[in-house]
Amino acid sequence: MIERIILNIEPRDPYLEYLFQTASLTSRRVVPMLRPSPDDLAKAKGDNDMVLRCCDRAYRRKTGRDMVIFHYQSIIVYRGFYLTPQGTVHTTRTLIAKQQIEKILSDILEDPANLREAYRKNFGLLWGRRDRIYADPRLFFARSGLSTSRGEPVPLGAMLRAMEEYPEDFSVPASEWHPCGVPQLIIDFQYDLPDKDGGWDWNFHRFCPVCGEVTFELRKGALRGDRNRLSRLVRRTMTRYSDGMGMSGLTVLDVIDRLEEEQAADD
């Protein structure tokens, strides 16, 4: 999972420095660092952080399509596109560059697989504050990275509601090796890889409400009916609570940030 992106901003062009720093303002999970030392970078980087090298090239590209590229964990901006032959800044093209940088950053953080990992890792917080999520449509319809068996995106609140309203379906007995000895919640289910017989294996992720541990169980294709049944219940819940609304502009990362801020304020 990628929790934060650290921008290692190398260009000494003041305007390009400003461009990278303003592009980082779209998310609190993007941290700009202006020409950090290796030690400073190592201290700032967490286990789940990605460091992107931000640099520039002078070569002038013929089309705006290649103005900003993402290559080997580097964001490269071509100065020749947004600078005029007289050395002045082309305002419109600079705005395009900023938008392209923002899209690269959002594509990394908001990748469905990354959101899904964030959902599982922070499920204890989300489950404990689910009433808060239910009360705010923006949080309820945040993108979770989860999807049904038909590939439909599942809003965060709908998934939590399904587990709460169909407890017998989403509960499984505790594993013999698990010390808490209480039923666990199935919080995610997805296919893994086709097995040697052409069937599918499925990952069922489980949450222990006592210790908060999330574990997973690999089930063989013969049990794929379990996933389809759970998926139908999630779709039923989505229909019941959709009220004609689509997904909100938030992601589960935004919800986690909001809940942590409120929790800190309460403390």
Interatomic CA distance for residues 205 and 171, integer angstroms: 11
Q: What is the mean pLDDT of residues 52-73?
A: 76
Taking the complete model, does pTM exceed 0.85, yes or no? yes
Q: Average pLDDT of the chain?
A: 86
Over the stretch 128-187, which tens digit does the pLDDT of each residue have?
999 999 999 999 999 999 988 778 899 999 999 999 999 999 988 877 778 888 889 999
Give the end-to-end CA distance of the chain in Å, rounded to a whole number. Answer: 27
Distances (CA, A) of 57 to 12, 30, 65, 221: 12, 23, 15, 51
CB 127 within 8 A of CB 246: no
Q: What is the mean pLDDT of residues 8-19?
A: 85
Assign residue 206 a region (left: φ > 0; alpha: ψ between -120 and 50; beta: otherwise). Answer: beta
Q: What is the pLDDT of residue 197?
A: 56
CB 245 within 8 A of CB 140: no
CB 81 within 8 A of CB 97: yes
How many CB atoms are located within 10 Å of the residue 84 CB?
A: 10
Closest CA to 209 of 174, 162, 253: 174
Is the alpha carbon torsion for 252, 257, 262, 267 positive or negative? Answer: positive
CB 21 within 8 A of CB 138: no
Closest CA to 104 of 82, 146, 73: 73
Burial of residue 238 (CB within 10 Å: 0-12, 13-18, 19+) is: buried
Closest CA to 96 of 61, 122, 121: 61
**What DSSP designation does 244 have?**
T
**Residue carrying the six token digits 């420095």:** 17
**What DSSP designation does 56 have?**
E
Q: What is the mean pLDDT of residues 26-37?
A: 93
Over the stretch 82-141, which tens digit does the pLDDT of each residue have?
777 777 888 888 888 899 999 999 999 999 999 999 999 999 999 999 999 999 999 999
